[in-house]
Chains A and B, each alone.
Chain A
Amino acid sequence: MKEQDEYFMEGNIACAEGALKAGCGFYAGYPITPASEVMNHLSKELPKAGGRFVQMEDEIASIASVIGASWTGLKSMTATSGPGFSLMQENLGYAVMTETPCVIVNVQRAGPSTGQATKPGTGDVMQARFGSQGDYEIIALSPNSAQEMFEFTVRAFNLAEKYRTPVVLLADAGVGHMREKVKIPKEVDIVERRRPEDDENEYFDTDREDRVPPMPDFGDGKELLITGSTHLGDGTRDTSSFEAQDRLVRRLVSKIEDNREELEDWEERNLEDADLVVISYGSISRPARGAVKKARDNGLKVGFFRPKVMWPSPEKKLREIGENSKVLLVELSLRGYRMEVERAVPSENLHIYDKLNSLPTIDQIYEKIEELIK
């Protein structure tokens, strides 16, 4: 086991520590509850680590400068909550289209609109996937502990670098403000973006199996053409041809889709003999898991499934679960992940426990389990 230190730490601070550990060199953000602690912490710690911190005039500018900084070769990140995440959507799509690695943390709060700024919610799950215009795929991770706020932030940077794409850390106010034990290893595995080989002169197309082109920096003398318009492999804008649109957009989608098996990740417990499987994610998955444990202790055949990677979703696994057992979706939202689960689980097998504003107790979820299984 690697050498590590233990702390009692808030989730948002653990996220900021993850960014530092991953080698973040640029942070830009704008204050917003319940995400501000990420920025507050990095404003102090990032310069000490040789990184650049800047507070921008709004969230649109924050993600814009993050993308600009990424092209100078720095691992770059911003953190926000729902209202800011909404403002970021256009430039999130720009990062997808220009294949710019960056990390966007959304510490979700109760919406819609201003909603309840200090209260948790997970109503942005679909927005993370579909919020920007046009066809694209995204990678989104869902932590359910302060420990995972640290670990998944590191992973988000690594995935962003590996796949040359924005990665969303879909946290919520529950995990963001949760204080608990966090183990921080002295060293973590770090992934760096692939630089062009001498014979590679296209930075926006590739025939490689992983579908990820190499990425140079500004100032490398590559005379880069970076555009959010449809473009050819050398970056030249092509706003009219079928071939350019078809080749680029299909590759951007397949870059995630074809690597789905490598990306998918989940926690599962007692699925083998389960008559009912509780599917949950984020902070509410903590009492949900507690309820499943209580059910098992009481001899009920209940399993637990928690996607750690929300997008791409574990479609096959969800379908398999839905075919073999009843499903209880437990989420801190009325619409969060529901459509994705409905897509995979036959309606006669699907039951919902949805909650707004605050976490339910283990017993409240357990009651629902008991009602379904007895």
Chain B
Amino acid sequence: MIKAKKIKEKYIRRHPSPFCPGCGGGMVLNSMSRAVEESGVSKEDIVAVSGIGCAAWIPSPHWRVDTLHTTHGRAIAFATGVKIGNKDLEVIVVSGDGDCAGIGGNHLLHGARNNIDLNVLMINNGLYAMTGGQVAPTTEHDEKTLTTPYGNPSSSFDVAEVVKAAGAGHVARWTTYHMKELIEEVKTAIDTNGFSFIEILTQCPTRKGKKEGMNGLEMLQWYKENTSKDEDTDKIFVGTLSEVDRPELTEQIYKQIDETGDELK
């Protein structure tokens, strides 16, 4: 294991972070940094793109790489331009569940359909945390939130399954309890030539934990007890959901330029 001091000096721009005590955001930042370090990708080639919300602040301004902190829900669309603009860049999108699957759902679907070589980390805390804890597309049916005081009349959807159905090259789910597995999964995502989607169940002790009588540590414990690497249980499955080999958009575009065109601009 690489020493924390080295990771901090090389990858972390600001410390301490603005995240609440017990938040999982810092753990994701740690795992991203370690994955990049272990993958051998040059830090200069990384572009981290994020939208709006707590998760968007994980890379911006805390990660010491090129960062693009964009508008709400549009990170994948911005990232698409970055990747097609320069295919040699390794583009990592960090997006909350509301940002990624709510307001940005259309871009998520089409990013997966295009199988564009992005690495999307969806930080799923099950609600809109930055704005006070409103209901999200990932909130369970009947769950009480700031805007569902009588219980959620709607239902959640399984974002990872949707992304899988849309054709993403690599889909996985982990939690902040599974740090070692998560680091390996981000490395796999970086190595994958296609749309990699990792759903990361991440504790929000402030908006969700408090309401359910759990602190950050207890929420991690809950992830431990309620997830399984075995698909045939009633628990939340963690692991790889899908790996498919489909044409990757950027590569196709560059190939067409190469075949029909002038020298690449």
The residues of A with any CB-CB pair to B shorter than 8 Å are 23, 25-26, 28, 47-54, 56-58, 60-61, 64-74, 76, 90-91, 94, 217-229, 235-237
Contact = CB atoms under 8 A, between A and B. Distances in A.
- Across chains A and B, which 7 residue pairs bring their CB atoms closest together, nearest first? A68-B81, A65-B81, A72-B85, A64-B77, A69-B85, A61-B77, A25-B265
Interface stretch (B23-31, B58-66, B139-147, B213-221): B58-66
B82 interface: yes
B265 A68 contact: no
B74 A235 contact: no
Contacts of B263: 50
B89 A227 contact: no
Interface string B96-122: 000000000011011000000000000
B261 A91 contact: no
Given A64-B81, A71-B68, A227-B67, 20 more contacts: A23-B265, A47-B253, A47-B256, A48-B261, A50-B263, A51-B257, A52-B257, A58-B106, A60-B77, A65-B78, A65-B81, A67-B78, A67-B81, A68-B49, A70-B81, A71-B82, A218-B85, A219-B66, A225-B67, A228-B70
Contact of A49 (B70, B74, B82, B265): B265
A217 B88 CA distance: 13
Nearest to B69: A227
B196 interface: no
A69 B49 CA distance: 12
The listed residue with most B CB atoms (<10 A of its CB), out of A48, A53, A218, is A218
B148 interface: no
B40 to A, nearest CB: 17
A19 to B, nearest CB: 12
A69 B80 CA distance: 8
A68 B78 contact: yes
Contacts of A47: 253, 256-257, 260-261
A57 B107 contact: yes
A28 B261 contact: no
A67 B106 CA distance: 18
A68 B68 contact: yes
Interface in B45-64: 45, 47, 49, 60-61, 64
Contact of B107 (A61, A226, A229, A237): A61
Contacts, number: 154
A207 B222 CA distance: 54
B69 A218 contact: no
B183 interface: no
Contact of A50 (B64, B69, B86, B264): B264
B240 interface: no
Contact of B71 (A28, A64, A70, A224): A64
Interface of B: 13, 44-45, 47, 49, 60-61, 64-71, 74, 77-86, 88-89, 106-107, 109-110, 249, 253-254, 256-257, 260-265
A68 B85 contact: yes
A69 B67 contact: no
A26 B81 contact: yes
B66 A66 contact: no
11 contacts: A47-B253, A49-B262, A50-B261, A54-B80, A54-B249, A56-B80, A61-B80, A70-B85, A73-B85, A226-B68, A237-B61
Nearest to A52: B84
Given A26-B84, A50-B263, A69-B84, A223 B66 contact: yes
A218 to B, nearest CB: 5
A57 B265 CA distance: 24
Contacts of B83: 68
Given A23-B265, A25-B265, A224 B66 contact: yes
Nearest to B264: A50
A76 B69 CA distance: 19
Contacts of B60: 225, 227, 237
Contacts of B65: 223
Given A50-B263, A64-B74, A64-B81, A72 B110 contact: no
A293 to B, nearest CB: 44
B260 A48 contact: yes
Nearest to B116: A54
Contact of B77 (A56, A71, A221, A227): A56
A221 B61 CA distance: 15
B17 to A, nearest CB: 13
Contacts of A222: 66
